Amino acid sequence: MRGQGQRSVRASRFSVPVVLLLGVALAVLRPASAQDATPAGGGERVEQIALVTPASRANQGWDQQAVDNLSAVSEERGVDVLVADNAGYEDITPTLRDFAEQGADLIVCHASGYQTVCPEFAEEEGVRVAVIENPDAATPGLVADIETQAQEAAYLAGVLAGRTTASGTVGIVASGQPPTWNYMSVGFAEGLKAARTDAKLLYAVIGEAAYEDAAGAKRETEAQLAAGADIVFGMGDGASFGMIDAIEEHNAELEEGAAPALFIDVIGDKREEHGDVLLTSVLFDYTGVYGQLLDDIEAGAFGRVHTMNVANGGVRLLDLPENVPPDVVAAVEQARQGVVAGDIEVSAIGDADGLRRRLDELLQGS
């Protein structure tokens, strides 16, 4: 899905990290109100925002969610958009420099792997950037940070898994250990244990930054299914499709009447093609925070830490299937209300060592 005035900058993940801006700048039609109005807070009118993301805009996950959400904001606000997808995790400085030369008023660096390079570029070039999960980098007028408190929604997914599992064994398969995935792994484990204290939790990491490793994801998921898991919480981007393949093949071989295994996804909505195995997904909605970033620039207040959580709707669960029992739906909703009210506090642990320690604590005696 492309927003009004959106242009594309593509970079192969496996090529030398040089990005060519293709074609001539496209004319953008904006409402008169967006063209003519003057910001009220001493800032400036935003005309162009850029987004760089490591993988494909069509991966039904992390990368596509950002592109789709920014497209929606661009259409609403009359802002031109530049997108560089498939930028990988090598040095993205050439991409950032091209954006700056194009006149981007803001560059959104949509990966925790860009936490360092983007603030450094902002400091050197005086170009505004927004980063993911690096609050220490927030700098007035220059660097904003986006915190995704996804552990809260993952806690709800854990409650759902604990109330749904028939075998009592649930798995987590992660494509790496970036802060976002670690937050969600801990939150999910805490929700699972809150809902079912005797649940057994399996945890596997495919590899370092194995976000697109569908084959590795399939192997790890198959191993968990063989160990008795009937629900798998998968964090993978492109690797998620390997997890889904493993579950679908597992279910196809079940004896008649046996309970099928189910999948809990992150960020995307894969119901149309995989609704038979998809229980829910932890969704991220960046539209609100992207709008806040533009508001801050126009008010002269850019450079804050912005938090997406269950209370403000930045993170939530995908609507549950109709066949989920009413008492399970009620348990998840009760947990959501507890999180919003502050009665349930979910651990925010982003480092891998802290994750392992917390899982060990939760799994004692299970």
Comparing 30-39, 65-74, 114-123, 295-304, which segment has the lowest mean pLDDT? 30-39
* Mean pLDDT to the nearest integer, 233-246: 93
- pLDDT for the residue 37: 38
Catalogue all structural domains in the chain, each as residue range(s) with its CATH number. 6-148+285-308 (3.40.50.2300), 150-284+325-363 (3.40.50.2300)
Judged against a pLDDT cut of 60, whether residue 83 lies above it is answered with yes
- pLDDT for the residue 318: 94
Judged against a pLDDT cut of 50, whether residue 23 lies above it is answered with no
- pLDDT for the residue 365: 55
pLDDT in tens, 315-351: 999 999 999 999 999 999 999 999 999 999 999 999 9
Predicted TM-score (pTM) of the model is 0.79
3-state helix/strand/coil string of the chain: CCCCCEEEEECCCCCCCCCCCCCCCCCCCCCHHHHHCCCCCCCCCCCEEEEECCCCCCCCCHHHHHHHHHHHHHHHHCCEEEEEECCCCCCCHHHHHHHHHCCCCEEEECCHHHCCHHHHHHHHHCCCEEEECCHHHCECCCEEEEEECHHHHHHHHHHHHHHHCCCCEEEEEECCCCHHHHHHHHHHHHHHHHHCCCCEEEEEECCCCCCCCHHHHHHHHHHHHHCCCCEEEEECHHHHHHHHHHHHHHHHCCCCCCCCCEEEEECCCCHHHHCCCEEEEEEECCHHHHHHHHHHHHHCCCCCEEEECCCCCCEEECCCCCCCCHHHHHHHHHHHHHHHHCCCCCCCCCCHHHHHHHHHHHHCCC
* Mean pLDDT to the nearest integer, 204-219: 94
